[in-house]
A and B are shown apart, each in its own frame.
Chain A
Amino acid sequence: MKFGGIRGRATTWLVAASALLSGSAWANPHPWQLNLTKGVTQTSKEVWDLNMASFLVCVVIGIIVFGAMIIAMIRFRKSKGAVAEKWSHSTKLELVWTIVPVLILIGLAWPATKILVRTTDTADAKMTVKVTGYQWKWRYDYVDYDGKTVKKVGFMSRLDKKSDATRQLDSGLDPNKVVDANGTNDYLLNVDHPLVVPVGVKIRFLITGGDVIHSWWVPDLGWKMDAIPGIVNAAWTKISKPGIYRGQCAELCGQDHGFMPIVVKAVPQAQFEQWLAAQESAAQLDKAARTAQATPTPGDSQG
Chain B
Amino acid sequence: MAHAATQDHHDDHHEAPKSFFRRWFMSTNHKDIGTLYLIFALLMFFIGGSMAMLIRAELFEPGLQLVQPYFFNELTTMHALVMIFGAIMPAFVGLGNWMIPLMVGAPDMALPRMNNMSFWLLPFAFTILLSSFFLPGGAPAGGWTMYPPLSIQGGDSIAFLIFFVHVSGISSIMGAINIIATILNMRAPGMDLLKMPIFVWTWLITAFLLIAVMPVLAGAVTMLLTDKYFGTSFFNAAGGGDPVLFQHVFWFFGHPEVYIMILPAFGIISEIIPTFSRKPLFGYKAMVYATASIAFLSFIVWAHHMFAVGLPLGAELFFMYATMLIAVPTGVKVFNWVTTMWKGSLTFETPMLFAVAFVILFTIGGFSGIMLALVPADFQYQDTYFVVAHFHYVLVTGAAFSIMAAVYYWLPKWSGNMYSERWGKIHFWLSVISVNVLFFPQHFLGLAGMPRRVPDYNVAFADFNMISSIGGFVFGATQLIFVGVIIHCVFFAKKKATDRVWEGSKGLEWTVPSPAPHHTFSVPPVIDDSQLAHGDVGH
A contacts, CB < 8 Å to B: 2, 5, 8-9, 12, 28-37, 43-44, 46-47, 50-51, 54-55, 57-58, 61-62, 65-66, 68-69, 72-73, 76-79, 82-90, 93-94, 97-98, 101-102, 105, 108-109, 112-113, 115-117, 119-120, 166-171, 173-176, 185-189, 207, 211-213, 215, 217, 219, 222-226, 228-231, 233-234, 247-259
Contact = CB atoms under 8 A, between A and B. Distances in A.
Contacts of A86: 279-280, 535
A75 B348 CA distance: 13
Contact of B339 (A47, A93, A119, A215): A93
Contacts of B356: 69, 73
Given A65-B363, A90-B339, A94-B332, 9 more contacts: A12-B459, A35-B447, A47-B379, A72-B344, A76-B344, A108-B374, A252-B147, A252-B150, A254-B141
Interface string B133-153: 000000001110001011001
Contact of B456 (A89, A250, A258): A258
B462 A9 contact: yes
A62 B324 contact: no
A28 B332 CA distance: 40
Interface stretch (B183-191, B236-244, B513-521): B236-244
B67 A224 contact: no
Given A77-B346, A250-B383, A33 B448 contact: yes
B450 interface: yes
A252 B320 contact: no
A43 B534 CA distance: 50
Max chain B C-beta neighbours (<10 A), residue from A43, A88, A215: A88
A61 B367 contact: yes
Interface bracket on B = 35 or more
A101 B329 CA distance: 10
Interface in B273-309: 277-284, 286, 308-309
B459 A175 contact: yes
20 contacts: A31-B459, A32-B463, A33-B449, A35-B447, A61-B367, A66-B363, A84-B345, A88-B284, A105-B370, A108-B324, A109-B321, A175-B63, A175-B458, A176-B62, A188-B456, A213-B147, A223-B308, A228-B310, A230-B238, A252-B150
B341 A254 contact: no
Max chain A C-beta neighbours (<10 A), residue from B73, B375, B449, B534: B449
| Nearest 5 interchain pairs by C-beta | A230-B237, A258-B454, A233-B310, A33-B448, A58-B367
B61 interface: yes
Contacts of B455: 258
Contacts of B244: 228, 231
B43 interface: no
A1 B153 CA distance: 37
A183 to B, nearest CB: 12
B341 A76 contact: yes
B258 interface: no
A212 B310 contact: no
Interface of B: 61-65, 67-70, 73, 141-143, 147, 149-150, 153, 237-238, 241-244, 277-284, 286, 308-310, 313, 316-317, 320-321, 324-325, 327-328, 331-332, 334-335, 338-348, 356, 359-360, 363-364, 367-368, 370-371, 374-377, 379-380, 382-384, 444, 447-464, 504, 534-536, 539
A60 B468 CA distance: 26
A207 B348 CA distance: 55
B449 A248 contact: yes
A167 B282 contact: no
Nearest to A16: B460
A33 B379 contact: no
Given A29-B460, A176-B459, A225 B310 contact: yes
A171 B447 CA distance: 29
A88 B536 contact: yes
A251 B383 CA distance: 7
Contacts of A9: 459, 462
B371 A54 contact: yes
A19 B376 CA distance: 28
Nearest to B77: A252
